[in-house]
Homo-oligomer: A and B are copies of this chain.
Amino acid sequence: MSKFVSLHEAISANVNDGDTVALEGFTHLIPMAAGHEIIRQRKRDLTAVRLTPDLIYDQLIGAGCVKKLIFSWGGNPGVGSLHRFRDAYQNGWPRKISIEEHTHAGLTNRYVAGASGMPFAVLRGYFGSDLMENTENIATIDSPFDEQKILAVAAINPDVTIIHAQQADRKGNVMAWGITGSSKEAVFAAKRVVVTVEEHVESFTPKFNSIIIPEALISHIAVVPRGAWPSYASGYYERDNDAYIAWDDIAKERESFSQWLEQEIYAKSSDALQGSGA
């Protein structure tokens, strides 16, 4: 029953061409190394879901892995645009991608509905926004108890959700602490779950503001120290703001991006880069 595998195996066993994948983590604990491995394994036609498709999805999109992006805020936080996303969406390079655009509240509730095994969740959202006319998977419904109009968002159930966390214990339970965003819901909503962790510990020292993902929900775990870099892992390392700024230059031109892709992703093996589980 070993759930602990190499990053290579975790991705190859769980991510298939055409899958709907959610790599979650909000600013904190973004599973960057797992994203790189998806690129390295040249997965194609993914529907990529994520509240904030920052660097991680700019890279996946630029590498041609993504056919559709489902998101609620797309930018390089504090820096600017996602050039690879814009190039794909506006110019079709390296391939045309479609988008389905939500609000944070809406996409979070799509995960909530998925986690709950419901066809939809309800919120008071999107109202007044032109997103109402441009976004799939939302609908207005009437309250059965009063005169209110309410917004329903369809459940999203990713084929695989991938998150990064600080620790896995001996049995394969995972603990993440600090900001976890909508990760818990994305995990509960998924058919398969991959977790990369900073550290494999014998047992947890319980942490305040932590969430526990029981091993029963997890398909595979890969130990990938610094697997969230250049985002951060509270208790392990800080956010590398310079890397976010540097990305702007790398991603601006197809050539510099392609060079990055070649040198930093394809030329490296996942094991050499991030270490492997055991």
Contact = CB atoms under 8 A, between A and B. Distances in A.
Interface string A182-208: 000000000000000000000000111
Given A137-B145, A145-B152, A208-B208, 6 more contacts: A119-B150, A120-B144, A120-B145, A139-B144, A144-B152, A206-B209
A278 B119 CA distance: 50
Interface string A77-121: 000000000000000000000000000000000000000111111
A5 interface: no
A148 B119 contact: yes
Secondary structure at the A interface, as helix, strand, loop or mixed, is: loop
B139 A119 contact: no
Nearest to A136: B145
Given A144-B141, A152-B144, A120 B122 contact: yes
A242 interface: no
A150 B118 contact: yes
Q: Contact residue range for chain A?
A: 20 to 34
Interface string A133-159: 000010101011110101010110000
A117 B150 CA distance: 11
A124 interface: yes
Nearest to A141: B144
Contacts of A259: none
Contacts of A145: 119-120, 137, 139, 152, 154-155
A245 interface: no
List the 3 closest A-B pairs by CB distance, nearest first: A206-B208, A139-B144, A119-B143
Contacts of A150: 118-120
A41 to B, nearest CB: 32
A12 interface: no
A118 B210 CA distance: 28
Contact of A208 (B119, B123, B210): B210
A210 B208 CA distance: 8
A122 to B, nearest CB: 6
A121 to B, nearest CB: 7
Given A141-B141, A145-B152, A208-B210, A121 B122 contact: yes
A48 to B, nearest CB: 21
6 contacts: A119-B146, A119-B148, A119-B150, A120-B145, A141-B144, A143-B152
A16 to B, nearest CB: 24
Interface in A203-250: 206-210
Interface string A148-173: 10101011000000000000000000
